[in-house]
Amino acid sequence: MTIFDELKERGLVFQTTDEEALRKAFEEETISFYTGYDPTADSLHLGHLVAILTSRRLQQAGHKPYALVGGATGLIGDPSFKDAERSLQTKETVEGWVGKIQGQLSRFLDFDNGDNKAIMVNNYDWFGSISFIDFLRDVGKYFTVNYMMSKESVKKRIETGISYTEFAYQIMQGYDFYELNQKYNVTLQIGGSDQWGNMTAGTDLLRRKADKTAHVITVPLITDATGKKFGKSEGNAVWLDADKTSPYEMYQFWLNVMDEDAVRFLKIFTFLSLDEIAEVEEKFNAARHERLAQKILAKEVVTLVHGEEAYQEALKITEQLFAGNIKSLSAAELKQGLSGVPTYAVQADDDFNIVEMLVKSGISSSKRQAREDVQNGAIYLNGERLQDLNYKLSDSDKIDNELTVIRRGKKKYFVLTY
């Protein structure tokens, strides 16, 4: 199976400019290709991971990746299928984000070894020195307004309004392709399906300005079985930065994907072979309640993004929280596992009696309710049931001298911090 056939089998090819020509190129030569990443935040997220891992697959097959971080285009903003114009960021902010994104990409692509080692580029390197007049004369003349307005990404914004800044974005991305082709003989661009209009602007510019043929592959925008999209603009971002989304949170995300998505995501987000995935699918379908596909998916992706040690920690937190073994976890591990639960900062003058603390921290609604909770065995202190109404919290209840975990009922966790 060729690498192109494998990409199709994994569901990673949404559109291509000329599939027959592209397939032939993959079979006959080493292709130099690029994927662009605009620094619109200080981290990439799972929505970017599809293109990143597709680049990695192509590099492993012997082709040469160029990772373009948009230090220039990040200052402008891509209008593609956005309801409103992005807020412009300062140059200093974008420069900082560029550095962080470059660091993240280096975890997935090999920038050090072999003839096809990856190359990092920043489009500010050419846009920063080109004059406005030169750009209009040498690039703008190859694009008609009718052509630019025909792009679906622009059409959707015409009614609500689009600035010239964002309207011109497609020309900038097209020029990126031209520059990379001229400097490095890059002949293929990979990106999300929402980028089709911007990407074909590059192939059109190469044809008109340099009489060259280039190719585009778009990967699908990933949605779950309900149609919900991965991406920060959707309010459900899972970031690649461990400080923004912990390995435990990422592990839980994959562990909880729907059965209908699990095998499909194994093909897209892991490097298990298609034969291995077929074996997993057979076992998974025989006993879906065991969630084998989700467990393997979570293991593979967390290990890929954060490393084996982070995966083992996420697994430990998951297992120990499920078992209620709070004391077996460190404060750092508990902060990961309980990051979204209600927290109360204990004050020095608080009454440390358990009933008083349950009310003060908002765990129980009243003293009467708190006493009932304790007497009925509904309160667990660091995983152990507490039924003494006169119990006072002490230093021995502090995990790593930082926090205390209280559980009310089977699943309601609360954290006291000091």
Are β-strands 412-417 and 343-345 bridged in parallel, bridged antiparallel, or unpaired?
A: parallel
User: Residue 53 is encoded by which pair of tokens?
Assistant: 């891992």
Q: How many angstroms separate the most distant Cα atoms in the chain?
A: 85
Distances (CA, A) of 40 to 13, 34, 101, 145: 25, 19, 10, 27
Q: Where are the alpha helices (DSSP H) in 243-366?
A: 247-255, 259-269, 274-286, 292-306, 308-323, 331-337, 354-360
Q: 204 is written with which tokens?
A: 């059109």
Determine whether the annotation assigns residue 347 to a binding site. no
List own/partner pairs for 296-300 with CB under 8 A and 24 or more apart: 296/266, 296/270, 296/272, 297/254, 297/255, 297/257, 297/262, 297/265, 297/266, 297/269, 297/270, 298/250, 298/251, 298/252, 298/253, 298/254, 298/255, 300/266, 300/269, 300/270, 300/271, 300/272
> Facing residues of 374 across strands?
none
Q: Is 416 exposed, middle or buried (0-12, 13-18, 19+ CB in 10 A)?
A: buried
CA distance 116 to 413: 50
What are residue 64's DSSP bridge partners?
32
Is 169 labelled a binding residue?
yes
Locate 83 and state its tokens: 């309801």
Token pair 């309640």: residue: 289
Q: Report the alpha-carbon angle 290-328-300, nearest 5.
A: 40
Name the binding residues: 34, 169, 173, 232
Query: Which residues are documented as binding site for L-tyrosine?
Result: 34, 169, 173
Annotated binding site for ATP: 232
